[in-house]
Chain A
Amino acid sequence: MQYQQSESRMYYSESLERVVRLASGSAVVIFSVSTCCMCHAVKRLFCGMGVNPTVYELDQDPRGHEIEMALSHLLGGDSAVPVVFIGGKLVGAMDRVMASHIGGTLVPLLKEAGALWL
Chain B
Amino acid sequence: MASHRVGEPAALSDSGAPHHHHHHHHIPYAVPHMLHHPTNSNFINQEGPAFDFGELEEAIILQGVKINNDDKKQHLYTAIRPAATLDMFPSWPMRFHQHTTRGSSKSGEESTDSGSAVNTLSNAPESPSDHRQPPPPPQMDAAGGIDSPRMSGSQSQPPAAKPAPEKTLRRLAQNREAARKSRLRKKAYVQQLESSRIRLAQLEQDLQRARSQGLFLGGGGAASGSISSGGAIFDMEYSRWLDDDHRHISELRTALQAHLSDSDLRVIVDGYIAHYDEVFSLKGAAAKSDVFHLITGMWTTPAERCFLWMGGFRPSDLIKMLIPQLDPLTEQQFMGICSLQHSSQQAEEALSQGLDQLQQSLVDTIANGSVNDSMHHMAVALGKLANLEGFVRQADNLRQQTLHQLHRLLTIRQAARCFLVIGEYYGRLRALSSLWASRPRESMIAEDNSCQTTSDLQMVQASQNQFSNF
Contacts from A to B (Cβ < 8 Å): 35-38, 40-42, 44-45, 48-49, 79, 94-95, 98-99, 101-104, 106
Report the 8 A-B pairs with minimum CB-CB distance, sorted nearest first: A41-B354, A45-B350, A102-B401, A37-B358, A44-B350, A44-B353, A40-B357, A41-B350
Q: How far is the CB of B359 from chain A (nearest CB, A)?
A: 9
A-B contacts, 14 listed (Cβ < 8 Å)? A35-B361, A38-B354, A40-B353, A41-B353, A44-B353, A45-B346, A45-B347, A48-B349, A94-B390, A95-B397, A101-B343, A101-B346, A102-B347, A104-B336
Beta-carbon contact of B347 and A95 below 8 Å: no
Given contacts A37-B357, A38-B391, contact A98 B339 (CB under 8 A): no
Q: How far is the CA of A109 from the CA of B448 in the complex (A)?
A: 54
Interface size on B, residues (CB 8 A): 29
Residues 337 to 372 of chain B near chain A (Cβ within 8 Å) = 339-340, 343-344, 346-347, 349-351, 353-355, 357-358, 361
- Residue of chain A at shortest CB distance from B359: A37
Please give the distance in Å from A74's CB to the nearest CB on chain B. Answer: 19
Give the A-binding residues of B (Cβ under 8 A): 336, 339-340, 343-344, 346-347, 349-351, 353-355, 357-358, 361, 384, 387, 390-391, 393-394, 397-398, 401-402, 404-405, 408
* Contacting residues, chain A, for B404 (C-beta < 8 A): 103
Min CB distance A59 to B, Å, is: 14
A38-B354, A48-B349, A79-B390 provided; 6 other pairs, C-beta below 8 A?
Answer: A41-B354, A42-B354, A44-B350, A101-B343, A102-B398, A102-B405
A99 touches B343 (CB 8 A): no
Q: Main SS of chain B's interface residues?
A: helix
- Asked if A41 and B343 sit within 8 Å, CB to CB, the answer is no
Which chain A residues border B349 with CB–CB below 8 Å? 44-45, 48
* Cα A42 to Cα B353 with chains together (Å): 10
Given known contacts A44-B353, A49-B346, A104-B336, is B397 in contact with A99 (CB within 8 Å)?
A: yes
With contact pairs A37-B361, A41-B353 given, residues A104 and B401 touching in the complex (Cβ less than 8 Å): no
A79 and B387 CA atoms in complex are apart in Å by: 11
Across the interface, which residues of B come within 8 angstroms of A101, CB to CB?
Answer: 343, 346-347
**In the complex, which of the residues A35, A36, A44, A98 contacts B397, with contact meaning CB atoms closer than 8 Å?**
A98
With beta carbons under 8 angstroms apart, the residue of A36, A44, A102 that contacts B343 is A102
Decide if B394 touches A38 in the complex (CB within 8 Å).
yes
For B353, what are the chain A residues with a Cβ–Cβ distance below 8 Å? 40-41, 44
User: A72 → chain B, closest Cβ, in Å?
Assistant: 15
Question: Chain B residue with minimal CB distance to A106?
Answer: B343
* Docked CA distance A106–B351 (Å): 17
- Which residues from chain A contact B336 at a C-beta distance below 8 Å? 104
CA distance A35 to B358 in the complex (A): 9
B27 to A: closest C-beta gap in Å: 78
> Which residue of the partner chain A has the closest CB to B397?
A95
